[in-house]
């Protein structure tokens, strides 16, 4: 049996989301808080549409988008690039990534 993911960032499966709906988490915010979907790297950009479609398929109203929460401190793109470069260098040197 294969898994269908609703949220790849947080490893939330479709089965887990449907179980949450069965427990009464039948609005987008409650579903997000119970399963954790939409809280990963993409902040819901990749999974919000799937969650909305799931709710509509279960007869729930089309949800309003939830509030994305930015990082606590802003992160410069250059810092993220530096992390990727460090990881690439570690792999070339045979070191395990952090």
* Cα dist from 19 to 15, 37, 63, whole Å: 6, 14, 18
Protein fold of 5-69: Arc Repressor Mutant, subunit A (1.10.10)
CA distance 50 to 79: 31
pLDDT digit string, tens, across residues 18-65: 999 999 998 888 999 999 998 888 888 889 889 999 999 999 886 666
Q: Are 18 and 28 in contact (CB under 8 A)?
A: no
User: What is the reported pLDDT for 92?
Assistant: 59
Q: Which of 45, 47, 46 is nearest to 35 (CA)?
A: 47
Report residue 88's pLDDT band, with 50, 70 and 90 as the boundaries. low
Q: Give the domain ranges of the chain.
A: 5-69
Q: Are 6 and 46 in contact (CB under 8 A)?
A: no
Q: Label residue 20 exposed, middle or buried (CB < 10 Å: 0-12, 13-18, 19+).
A: buried
């Amino acid at each position: 049996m294969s898994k269908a993911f609703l949220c790849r960032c947080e490893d939330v499966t479709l089965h887990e989301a449907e179980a949450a709906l069965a427990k009464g988490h039948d609005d987008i915010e409650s579903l997000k808080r119970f399963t954790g979907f939409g809280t990963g790297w993409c902040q819901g950009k990749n999974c919000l549409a799937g969650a909305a479609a799931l709710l509509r398929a279960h007869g729930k109203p089309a949800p309003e988008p939830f509030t994305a929460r930015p990082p606590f401190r802003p992160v410069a793109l250059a810092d993220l690039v530096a992390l990727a470069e460090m990881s690439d260098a570690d792999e070339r040197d045979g070191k395990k990534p952090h």
